[in-house]
Structure formats: structure tokens, C-alpha cells
Chains A and B, each alone.
Chain A
Amino acid sequence: MSAPVIHDGSRLEADLHLEADVVIVGTGAGGGISAEMLAGAGLRVVMIEEGKFYRPEQVPLREPWSLSRLYREGGAMPTKDGALTVVQGRTVGGSTVVNWTSSFRTPKNTLDHWRSHHGLEGLGEDDLAPWFDLVEQRLNIHEWTDHNRNNQLLAEGAAKLGWNHAPIRRNVRDCAGHGYCGLGCPVTAKQGMDVTTIPEALAAGAVLATRVRAERLVVERTRVAAVECVALDERGLAPTGRRVVVRAPRVVVAAGAIHSPALLLRSGVPDPHQRIGKRTWLQLHNYSLSFVREKIDPAYGAPQSIYTNHWTWRDGVTGRAGFNMEVVGAQPVVSMAFWKGIGGEMADFARRYPHLHILVSQIRDGFHEDSQGGVVRLRKDGAGVLDYPVTGYILDGIRTSYAAMAECQFAAGAEAVHPACNDASWYRSWPEARAEIASLTLRSPNVYVNSTHPLGGCAMGADPRTSVVRADGRHHHLDNLWVIDGSVFPSSLGVNPCETIYALAARNSTLLAESAA
């Protein structure tokens, strides 16, 4: 077997022209799975990736190093008004390199909603089951049983309150439970795209170009004729002046939410109903801090292994904002970022770090008519930026989830609870928390919310007036363009999204390969 072909854009000495059967823009959950499936089907594949290819032994296990090299914008890409930040990977393997491995099949409620409200056929629970089976086997997705104290506390709180809760499945192999998922797994236990599908695609003859940013799809009548890219410098910030042009009869855009729609917008892809970039979802993450008497060392052990969906669908699928609940277990920089105090307050907080128990609620968006999500716009330099208004619908979800998380933390034995909000204070009991949260001022940026789950913006749907691609990922107006990533979801999911992206990518890249045969 010949050595893998990887072009490092930062070292290109001349422009690069590549030809392939299919070009894939992005190497995250969607692009990574697609690359393996398409290369495995015998197609010549070129992968374009803005990030760099880091090997596990290069990761120094220091948070700012990982945040600045493996994530976009230091792990804190601001939305348009700066009220909150989006966390996305930017490296070979995308967010699958730095996610916490929490793997869920798409909830039936979500898939049923997609059929009834977005006309999506062929994506029911039974239709997708074989694709879930496939990716679960490929990425060794299995139930985790070795729960750290941080996760056990969520189980204990939920049990006391009679809330449904269950173990989370994780895509790991021989995981030692170090707890450093968010920094890039130091021991290749995490089955991210960087250690699974991408090496496999390379072995099957696929070509990878790193530190290369897709600038524009060249649209000729009803087809994409080429993908025009720029090579980036060592840090991936400024173009070096070298260009990379890929010609292929099939183009897969898999740059993730925000960046897939931004690429389509920059390219002037036909969009007669102005759907590109609309209805972008965040499953906004809202946090509650608590201290427990025992030492739980939240930095160590599988970061997320228990969840509760007691609140996710409580008011019906199209009702008030629902949310699932999980724990946050992280190293000091990320953990301390939830506390916006100063001086003595900051020092006292930090010194109790081994006792810090944080819960996160992910507020599902896109099911209720008052929940239209955000809109991707282009910055002056052409980069995508998300305009996501924190509406009354979301604020209701924030307030309700602050209360629910506090109730759960007190039930689990917390001595004190503090919503991750500058305008809150420490509450000593559940009745006090309930009363205070009911009248808490909710304003930006004092309410600390963010999202690691940007989704949507290139919605799939049966009707071109309300969507960008069809159920198989193919663009409504351009014959040889597919979008295969989390940007195609017509709503958020109500669970962590990686496994849904894997399964849909496996399905749609297989359909693509069949159409190419």
C-alpha cells in the first residue's frame, strides 16, 4: 500500500490542482464518515480541511493549547451581538476530536416531527435503525458503566425526584477514563474521525488537504464545476497566496452548521426562497453550579455518562422549550469559565474546585413556531457569523432549567447552588432557589450560555420553498451538490448530535455512491 497523500496547505510552494470523483469540504462527523464510505465504494475522494492534522502525542493536555489549536476561535466563537459563544472543532476530524463522546440515536419524537412538519420520508426510526447499527459498530459506540461521582450525583438527584435517567453511550475503545476528551484524547481511545474513518479513507486512496479553506463553489448553470480554495498559514489565519482548486463531478459540503451555509452563501448557490442560513439551531446550553461536601474531582473520569430526559418533551413536542440534562466535568480553565466573579469570591470558588458539581441543560429549539433559531450572515471578510436572538421562548427555557437543575442538585445533596448567571447568588435550599430563580434578572452576557451543538441552516425537507436540500442531502437546485453534516437538520434534536450526523452521513453517502455507480 502506498503512503497516504496529505497536502499541508501552509507548506504549499505552488498552486495545487486536484481532480477526483468526489470532493468533500470538511472532515468532521459528516465529512469523515462520508470519506470512508465513498472511498470504500471505490470513488476517488479529495478531502478539504481548514484545520491541521494533530496526532495524540502532540497534544500537551493544556486547555488553552487545545482550545486555540483544535477549536474555532479558541472554543468561543461569538454570535453576532456577542451575547453567547459557539464551540466548534477546527482540526482534521472536526468536533469529533474534542467532543465528550456522548452518543444518542435521534429521538423518535424528533424524527416523527420531521416527517409530519417537514415532509421527510424514509427517515423514520425503523428506516434509520440499520444506519445507527452500522455507525455504532464502526465507532464502538456502547454503554458506559464506570460512572464518576460527578455523573453519579445526577443519577442520584434524578432518582430522588423520580426523573427518568439512563447511562450514556460513548464512542470509545479501551478508554481509561482520564477525562480529557475536550482537549483531544491523549490515548486514542476516543473513536473520532481522526483515528477511524479518515485514516481508513486515506488507506483506500483518498487525498487530504489540510490548512486549506474552501472559499467558493464555482456554479455553472445547474452544477458545481469546481471548489476554489485558499491555502492558509501555519496557524490557519491568513491566506498564503497559494490557491487550491478541486474539480470533481460530485461535491459534498460538510463544513458543519454556520460554515456550510456560509460557503453556499459566498458561492451564490441558487436560493430562490432565501433559505440558506435560516433556522440555525443551538440547543442552547445553560448551566447550574453547585458545591457538594464530598470530593468529586470533576476533571477525571468519563465527562458525561448519565443523562435525564425528564424535561425534554414535558410540554409536548411543539410545546414550551424542553431540555435534556447532563453533567459538566472539565479541567480548570473550562470549569472556572462558568464563574464570573472576582477577588475573594473568585478565590473561594476556585479553591473548592474538587467539590464543584455542574449541570448543563440543552434547550431544544426549532419545534415551536416561536422558535425560529438563528440566521447565518456573512462577515465583511466572507466568514459566516450566527445571529441568534435570545427570545422569550429561550428565556423561558433558561429560567425553567435553572430551577430544574437546582432542584436536582439539592436532591443530590448539594450544600449550595448558583445558576451560572452574574445576577444570581448562592442559594442554600431548594425553596430559596425556586423563589429566587422565579424573579432572577436574565440579561446578556450575565447569563452564561453557549452551545457545542450548532445545527441547521441548510435544512433538508420535501419542499424547496422551506428547505435547502432533500432527505438524501442533495441540493434542491444543483444536481451534483450534497450537504452531509449537522446543518441539514430541520430542527435541533433534543440529544447530543454526533451520532445522528454519523448515521445520516452513512446513509446519504451510500445513496450518493449508488447514484455514482
Chain B
Amino acid sequence: MNAAPRPPRKGGLSPAGEEILRAVMPQVLGSLLPASREERAEALDEAMWALDDYVSHLSLPLQAEARMLMTLLSLAPVRLLLLGTARRWRDAPEGAVATFLQRTRGSRLYPVRRIYDSLQSMSVIAWFDLPRAWEAIGYPGPPVARRFEQGYEG
């Protein structure tokens, strides 16, 4: 059976945010993500849809704040400082992203620790929403069947 196409994105997640989260999520979730390249890409597509839907329902000021954070993290000097490389997020070595997360997590600076907190939380929300994430963690899913496999309108 062919799955129905997902409804269009709602503009909650900015392109900069998507690029960063696609780099960050594998480092946050480790072996919970599928190992195969295609499956992983498909899983991340689903996760991005879920996160876009979630963010698109936040108040406009909070959405703007999230976009600003992602824009800031995309700036070359910030990348150099926090990521230790001038490469774009999509090209950053996995090790650099992992180190970035460890450093921000334990930073002495409150605003830097909040960056870790935001990226880690968004990764968790996006991933554990997906039914494909559930088997690995022993969650059989809701007891009442609902037909919303490919996302929601509204």
C-alpha cells in the first residue's frame, strides 16, 4: 500500500534550522536512528515534517526567536567559534557536531547552555513522535487506533 503524501510544510522550521537539526539529530539520537543511508534520510524527512508542524503552532514571537537562534548558529564566525570549523552545518564532520554539543552542554555561559537545551529538546520531540521510533524503545503505541499516519491538516 502506498502511503499518502504528507501535507505541505507550514513554515515553522526555517531552512537554516532544518540544516542544523539534520546535522544535530544523528548526534543526539545515536544508534536510535536507522543505520542505512536511505532509511535515515527518510526518517529525518519525517522528523522535519513533525518539527515544522509543532513549531508552526507556537506563538509568532517564539517562532521568531527560534528562527533567530538558527540564523545566529549559521553565521560563519559563530560556526567557527562553537563548531570549530568554518564549514557549513551540512558539511561539518560528525565529530565536530558531537564536540559542539558536549561543549555547549557543559558551558559556563547560561545562553550557551540554552542553545544545547533547545537543540536537544527539538531533536527529542521530532524523533519520538514518529511511530518508526517506537519499536526500539519498547513503546507499542496508542491503544486506540487513529488514522493520522502522514501528518495533520490545520
Q: Which residues of A contact B (CB under 8 A)?
A: 59-65, 67-69, 73-74, 76, 78, 82, 178, 180, 186-187, 234-235, 237-238, 295, 297, 299-300, 331-333, 336-337, 340, 342-347, 350-351, 353-354, 379, 381, 383, 422, 443-446
From DSSP, what is the main secondary structure of chain A's interface residues?
Answer: loop
Given contacts A74-B58, A342-B101, A354-B138, whether A347 and B121 have CB atoms under 8 Å apart is no
Please indicate the chain A residues that have their CB under 8 angstroms from the CB of B62 in the complex: 73, 78
A295–B59 Cα gap in the complex (Å)? Answer: 39
Query: Judging by beta carbons under 8 Å apart, are B128 and A344 in contact?
Result: no
Instruction: Find residues 96-143 in chain B having any chain A CB closer than 8 Å to their own CB.
Output: 98, 101-102, 105-106, 110, 113-114, 116-117, 120-121, 124-126, 128-129, 133-134, 136-139, 142-143
Chain B CB within 10 Å — which of A331, A332, A347 has the most? Answer: A332
Query: Judging by beta carbons under 8 Å apart, are A332 and B113 in contact?
Result: no
Q: Which residues of B contact A (CB under 8 A)?
A: 27-32, 50, 53-62, 98, 101-102, 105-106, 110, 113-114, 116-117, 120-121, 124-126, 128-129, 133-134, 136-139, 142-144, 146, 148, 152, 154
Please name the residue on chain A nearest to B62 by beta carbon: A73
Query: Judging by beta carbons under 8 Å apart, are B133 and A332 in contact?
Result: yes
A62–B131 Cα gap in the complex (Å)? Answer: 9
A354–B116 Cα gap in the complex (Å)? Answer: 26
Query: Judging by beta carbons under 8 Å apart, are A178 and B143 in contact?
Result: yes
Please indicate the chain B residues that have their CB under 8 angstroms from the CB of A234 in the complex: 154
Point out the residue from B53, B114, B124 that lies within 8 Å of A336, measured CB to CB: B124
From DSSP, what is the main secondary structure of chain B's interface residues?
Answer: helix
Q: Given A235-B56, A342-B120, A345-B30, 7 more contacts at CB 8 Å?
A: A62-B148, A74-B58, A337-B124, A344-B31, A346-B32, A350-B136, A354-B137
Given contacts A64-B129, A74-B54, A347-B32, whether A340 and B117 have CB atoms under 8 Å apart is yes
A78–B118 Cα gap in the complex (Å)? Answer: 11
Query: Judging by beta carbons under 8 Å apart, are B28 and A331 in contact?
Result: no
Point out the residue from B138, B142, B154 that lies within 8 Å of A61, measured CB to CB: B142
- Tell me, rounded to whole Å, the shortest Cβ–Cβ distance linking B114 to chain A: 6
Given contacts A343-B30, A379-B61, whether A445 and B114 have CB atoms under 8 Å apart is yes
A74–B66 Cα gap in the complex (Å)? Answer: 13
